[in-house]
Structure 1
Amino acid sequence: MFDYMALVLFAVICIVLMFGYPVALSLAGTALAFAGLGLGLDAIGIDANFDPAFLSALPNRLYGIMSNSTLLAVPLFVLMGVLLEKSKVAETLLDAMALLFGSLRGGLGISVTIVGMMLAASTGIVGATVVTMGLLSLPTMLKRGYSQSLATGTICATGTLGQIIPPSIALVLLGDVLSSAYQQAQLSMGIFSPKTVSVGDLFMGAIVPGLILVVLYIIYVATVAWLKPSAAPPADREELMAELGHQGNLGTLLLKGLVPPIVLIIAVLGSILGGFATPTEASAVGAFGALVLALAYRKLDFATLKEVVRSTTHVTTMVFLILIGAALFSLVFRAYGGEELVVHLFDNMPGGVVGATIIVMLVIFLLGFILDFIEITFVVVPIVGPVLLAMGLDPIWLGIMIAINLQTSFLTPPFGFALFYLRGVAPDTVPTTAIYRGVIPFIVLQLGMLVALALVPELATWLPAQF
């Protein structure tokens, strides 16, 4: 029994989280309870297979979290995203794209996809993108005769692009965890000058799969509009312009809506890909650029700034508190011999590294129903990452596979987070079943992307290798 206490710890953590308790406190509290159990059993002479020496590393772990320069990108990217949301950049961009493509069959759906991609490349926050698109575009699409399932499915799918298209918060956190896992894997193989995985590598690795997904979404919407015109009818441009409350020519609106976010995206991603800045430095550029845009759009008063700072602080403290709880959980898990147990289980798994990867991907997919990407990144990846990487997997490829896997999980009924986000802002006239039906084709496309990545790893590894 005691040889499997690490697995019991993991199972108890998942159960506690399902009850809805705060993630950070659940991780830390459960880990402390199991550490106390192990120390108590050892004190009365029962061997619990618990090594308390691992707990002595906790102060260094906490100091490492607080001094990690890579994680500094998290509050800055969050600040950039919140500023863009409050400055109405998304609203202006969506109106411009709707007017540009709306007169085509399926044009509004294509507009939503393109805007979702640009918001993902600007904010990197899934929930904010889904809610924003749901509030701004869903009423217009439904009013123009779009089928409920196509409209809601398109919004949910494009909203989750923030999971994979850089600068994604998920990739920032995943890059930091995978770097530690990669170093640990190399040390276990006797490599005492281990290489690292940078967040910039993951950003570059995600660009090609992310763009392929966007193209697949557009092709699907265009195909539906061609085969079933009533599901995605064209809109009259003049009527649409009047409905959206815009006057003047389309060129002015396009200039105002398209140029600022494109410049911001180029400033952030271009500085990373060009080697001019690290992701942390680029996040500072992005936050400053978003501040300038908010001032230029005259949307930044003291009340808005207060709300922006409060929201950014809330998200940042949540992330770092979860990090601290996950660090304690990881140490207690290893103190019970969890690392050796996982290695043993993977070594005896049929199919070798392929079988182990499939099982891990399936577990992460199922956990995505009940846990957010932050919990999975900090709880699951540190356990399975070192073992899979020691078996020879490429860390960039593994990171992109995990990110797209979670993106698919967030779309899958009945528990997908993106579905809950949209359900919260969708009109009551839109049934939940329509949302579920709408996301199914996009889930198939994303599963196809996972299979393509498995068969052609160069889709994720080629671009980083060029830099």
Structure 2
Amino acid sequence: MSIELLTLLFFGSLLFFLLLGLPLAFVLGGVSVVFLYFTWGFDSFFMVASQIWGTMGSFTLVAIPLFVFMAMVLERTGVAKDLYRMMHLWFGGIRGGLALGTLAICAVFAAMVGISGAAVVAMGTIALPSMLERGYDRKMALGVINTGGGWGILIPPSILMILYALITGVSVGQMFAAGIMPGVLLMVLTAIYVLVRAHLQPHLAPALPKEERGTWGEKFRALRAVLLPIGVVVMVLGSIIGGITTPTEAAAMGVLGALISAAVYRQFKWSIMQEAAIRTFKLTGMIMWILFAAHAFSAAYQSMGAQDLIESLMQGIPGGAWGIIIAMMVIVFFLAMVLDPVGIMLITLPVFMPIVKSLGFDPVWFGILFVINMEIGYMTPPFGFNLFYLKGVVPPGITMKDIYTSVIPFVLIEIVAIGIIMAFPEIATWLPGVFF
């Protein structure tokens, strides 16, 4: 059977079973095992087992359950409520101020937890009702929470960056450093959009009345809310940049910071710790099964020799090396609308990375573009995770259509950011060069 037909059958089978709604891990692993058996026979399973065993011994994987547990604890401490009160006082007096404050809190959460859902749920519960009560346009409010919540996978620490580093062999520390300036770029671009839109259409995001803006004494007292979040960020990122810990060990520092925060907010309770631990086990177990299935996929894919076919197809794309990179981004963009980000990484990266390296591009720079695309996937219909996180906490009057349409301008901002980082790679590569 020709390699072209094998490739068509392989990916066609994956797509067919995924569209049936079967779990990604079992589809990826099951289809790969079947193709492996008919390609190389029973002995090929030893190769898969060997790869899985090697992955299980990876020290980098320890960071995943630690960062997840850290996020689950922080989500329940009440730190988000105090942060929003502080932003309410400081930013509420300008048009679009509450939206800017929400974006700032999302950025702080992103620098603490490393996943997307925590900030979306927290701000959907706290910030959204506040903005709607004060006359904010619902699409503006929903879009701000949706896009800001996605920054958790770009601004370090990031679980997706750890997985990217594990799959591609790049340094986790370099990926973390590379995510800082692109994260700031996205914050600035989104803030500019909110301010300009609020200036041109004041009814979309009105300023708070004077009686709600607070006195200077209240504003300065409210600044105490940022001390614990800043402390957690310093414990995680500061320990990495200062050379005190590896990125994996820094995850343990983050857990310590989260537990201290829970104690300060008097939420250090057995019930909360138990719930956080159980959710951590569930999420980590899901990620591990997908990783194991991905090894079977990688082994099956390589055994068919399909990588040569993909490379030859990529070489035929017009526009040379940049045309190939843009084509990869387009492929990932559409995959992110329908598939789990972890699954997309494990399906595409074994194909893309040899090509990226052969074209002379920096894998860390490409990783940032890839992660931003995953971030877009979290906020785009029909299956973006943030859309469903948000739907779970919004008031009854807000429909799924409202949530879907609210993301359009913010997706365009993310695409513009990708273009800027492609044009100026130093945005992603400068800090890794400085720190490492």
Determine the C-alpha separation between the residues in 2 that align with 1:444 and 1:136.
26
| Cα deviation, residue 414, structure 1 | 4.1
1:123 is aligned to 2:113: yes
Picking from 207, 220, 242, the partner of 1:251 is 220
Q: Is the 8 A contact 2:341 2:374 kept in 1?
A: yes
Query: Unaligned regions of 5+ residues in structure 1, if any?
Result: 39-49, 180-196, 242-247
| Cα deviation, residue 163, structure 1 | 2.0
Determine the C-alpha separation between the residues in 2 that align with 1:51 and 1:199.
36
1:3 is aligned to 2:8: no
Q: Is the 8 A contact 1:170 1:374 kept in 2?
A: yes
| Cα deviation, residue 142, structure 1 | 0.3
The match for 1:211 is 184
| Cα deviation, residue 295, structure 1 | 1.4
SS of the aligned residue for 1:341 comes to helix
The match for 1:220 is 193
The match for 1:109 is 99
- Which segment drifts farther, 114-123 or 292-301? 292-301
The alignment covers a number of residue pairs equal to: 432
How high is the sequence identity, in percent, across the aligned residues? 38
Q: Is the 8 A contact 2:198 2:204 kept in 1?
A: yes
| Cα deviation, residue 251, structure 1 | 3.0
Letter in 2 for 1:146: Y
The match for 1:178 is 168
| Cα deviation, residue 452, structure 1 | 0.8
The match for 1:12 is 13
The match for 1:394 is 362
The match for 2:205 is 232
Picking from 251, 273, 276, the partner of 2:244 is 276
Per-residue Cα deviation, 1:366-392 (whole angstroms, up to 9, x for no partner): 110111111111221122212222221
Q: Is the 8 A contact 1:131 1:422 kept in 2?
A: yes
Letter in 2 for 1:285: M
Aligned Cα root-mean-square deviation (Å): 1.9
Picking from 33, 50, 55, the partner of 1:65 is 55
SS of the aligned residue for 1:435 comes to helix
Q: Is the 8 A contact 1:178 1:399 kept in 2?
A: no
Determine the C-alpha separation between the residues in 2 that align with 1:8 and 1:349.
23
The match for 1:406 is 374
The match for 2:36 is 35
Determine the C-alpha separation between the residues in 2 that align with 1:227 and 1:432.
27
Distance 1:91 1:31, change over 3 A: same
Picking from 322, 335, 342, the partner of 2:303 is 335
Q: Is the 8 A contact 2:356 2:363 kept in 1?
A: no
Determine the C-alpha separation between the residues in 2 that align with 1:294 and 1:380.
39
| Cα deviation, residue 8, structure 1 | 2.4
The match for 1:456 is 424
Determine the C-alpha separation between the residues in 2 that align with 1:319 and 1:198.
20
The match for 1:317 is 285
| Cα deviation, residue 402, structure 1 | 0.4
| Cα deviation, residue 265, structure 1 | 0.5
Q: Is the 8 A contact 1:156 1:439 kept in 2?
A: yes
SS of the aligned residue for 1:410 comes to helix
Distance 1:140 1:403, change over 3 A: same
SS of the aligned residue for 1:116 comes to helix
Query: Unaligned regions of 5+ residues in structure 2, if any?
Result: none
Distance 1:296 1:114, change over 3 A: same
Determine the C-alpha separation between the residues in 1 that align with 2:42 and 2:164.
28
Q: Is the 8 A contact 1:342 1:387 kept in 2?
A: no
Q: Is the 8 A contact 2:72 2:280 kept in 1?
A: yes
Distance 1:71 1:413, change over 3 A: same
Determine the C-alpha separation between the residues in 1 that align with 2:78 and 2:147.
22
Letter in 1 for 2:399: P
| Cα deviation, residue 431, structure 1 | 3.4
Picking from 73, 83, 99, the partner of 2:73 is 83
Q: Is the 8 A contact 2:14 2:27 kept in 1?
A: yes
SS of the aligned residue for 1:362 comes to helix
Alignment of 1:315-464 (within 5 A): 315-464=283-432
Distance 1:386 1:301, change over 3 A: same
Letter in 2 for 1:287: V
SS of the aligned residue for 2:412 comes to helix
| Cα deviation, residue 105, structure 1 | 1.7
| Cα deviation, residue 344, structure 1 | 2.4
The match for 1:267 is 235
Letter in 2 for 1:331: A
Determine the C-alpha separation between the residues in 2 that align with 1:60 and 1:171.
24
Q: Is the 8 A contact 1:13 1:27 kept in 2?
A: yes
Determine the C-alpha separation between the residues in 2 that align with 1:27 and 1:37.
16
Determine the C-alpha separation between the residues in 1 that align with 2:281 and 2:382.
31
Determine the C-alpha separation between the residues in 2 that align with 1:380 and 1:330.
10
| Cα deviation, residue 7, structure 1 | 4.0
Distance 1:435 1:318, change over 3 A: same
Determine the C-alpha separation between the residues in 2 that align with 1:289 and 1:349.
48
Letter in 1 for 2:20: F
- Which segment drifts farther, 199-208 or 438-447? 438-447
Determine the C-alpha separation between the residues in 2 that align with 1:415 and 1:286.
30
Q: Is the 8 A contact 1:54 1:334 kept in 2?
A: no
Determine the C-alpha separation between the residues in 2 that align with 1:331 and 1:237.
64
Determine the C-alpha separation between the residues in 1 that align with 2:259 and 2:201.
43
Q: Is the 8 A contact 1:18 1:370 kept in 2?
A: no
Determine the C-alpha separation between the residues in 1 that align with 2:166 and 2:11.
22
Determine the C-alpha separation between the residues in 2 that align with 1:393 and 1:53.
36
Distance 1:377 1:357, change over 3 A: same
Picking from 127, 138, 145, the partner of 1:137 is 127
Letter in 2 for 1:3: I
SS of the aligned residue for 1:99 comes to helix
Distance 1:214 1:57, change over 3 A: same
Letter in 1 for 2:222: L
Alignment of 1:184-199 (within 5 A): 197-199=170-172
